């Protein structure tokens, strides 16, 4: 048995997270009884380096609201993380913190599984770290998009039915509707949706948000964030093993 290793997830209000259960089960299946994964609900990142040293972390995942805020505190970034401008995975090696983005690969797996020829342009709802990974993938696949967010020229008050009808891919990247606030929902013109639309909500808990339920009731193809989460977790695991 090798040396014990500890990993984790940092964020705020993340007791619902899937990551702890996912990695604990993964370690069990691999016979890595000396590996552990812990959820860390943090108020801020002020003492990040000391925190990593104290907890003896070999790597960790990053979620809301720290995916962008963590960047100045890291020693280096992968090329993809630099281009995206958000980090969701950090490898710790010899006291150095290197940031990666595995959200993009996770979202790409979901999009490519469901996308059809008529899905030619997108609306991205939200403008945080997850949205940055989504837009990176859309650019890579040459899918034009508009961003809808609270402070944007195109926002949830100005979004029209015509705009929704013109974009057959809708990607919901905000935390609105996440457990325990499962009856919360964005202000959105759902009646503009049709069976031609693909609606992806990156939330995975609950498995079907109110946003997805409303979309499905209009005939849209819908998907949650489960596949994205599993794919990005596997990419994180690859990185931690490679950097070990």
How far is the C-alpha of 23 from the C-alpha of 241, rounded, in Å?
13
Three-state DSSP at 67 gives coil
Q: How far is CA 193 from the centre of its chain?
A: 24
Rg of the chain over all Cα atoms, to the nearest angstrom: 18
How far is the C-alpha of 140 from the C-alpha of 136, rounded, in Å?
6
What sign results for the dihedral spanned by CA atoms 164, 146, 124, 65?
negative
Q: Which of 5, 38, 67, 69 is catalytic?
A: 67
* Residue indicated by tokens 């929902």: 185
Q: How many CA atoms are closer than 13 Å to the CA of 100, on its beta-carbon side?
A: 22
Residue 84 has phi, psi (to 5 degrees) of: -75, -40
How far is the C-alpha of 134 from the C-alpha of 131, rounded, in Å?
5
* Contact call for residues 37 and 19 (beta carbons, < 8 A): yes
67 is an active site residue:
yes
What is the set of active-site residues?
Answer: 67
């Amino acid at each position: 048995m090798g040396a014990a290793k500890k990993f984790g997830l940092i964020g705020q209000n993340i007791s619902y997270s899937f990551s702890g259960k996912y990695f604990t089960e993964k370690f069990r299946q691999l016979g890595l009884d000396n590996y552990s994964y812990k959820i860390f609900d943090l108020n801020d990142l002020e003492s990040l380096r000391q925190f990593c040293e104290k907890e003896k972390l070999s790597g960790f995942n990053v979620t809301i609201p720290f995916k962008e805020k963590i960047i100045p505190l890291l020693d280096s970034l992968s090329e993809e993380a630099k281009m995206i401008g958000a980090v969701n995975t950090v490898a710790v090696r010899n006291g150095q913190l290197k940031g990666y983005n595995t959200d993009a690969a996770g979202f790409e797996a979901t999009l490519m599984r469901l996308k059809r020829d008529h899905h030619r342009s997108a609306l991205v709802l939200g403008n945080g770290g997850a949205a940055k990974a989504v837009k990176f993938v859309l650019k890579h696949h040459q899918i034009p998009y508009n961003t809808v967010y609270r402070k944007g020229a195109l926002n949830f008050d100005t979004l029209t039915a015509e705009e929704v009808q013109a974009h057959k891919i809708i990607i919901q990247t905000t935390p609105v509707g996440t457990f325990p606030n499962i009856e919360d929902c964005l202000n959105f013109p759902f009646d503009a949706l049709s069976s031609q639309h693909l609606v992806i909500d990156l939330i995975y808990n609950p498995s079907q948000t109110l946003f997805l339920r409303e979309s499905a009731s209009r005939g849209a193809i819908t998907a949650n964030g489960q596949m994205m989460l599993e794919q990005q977790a596997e990419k994180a695991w690859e990185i931690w093993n490679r950097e070990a």
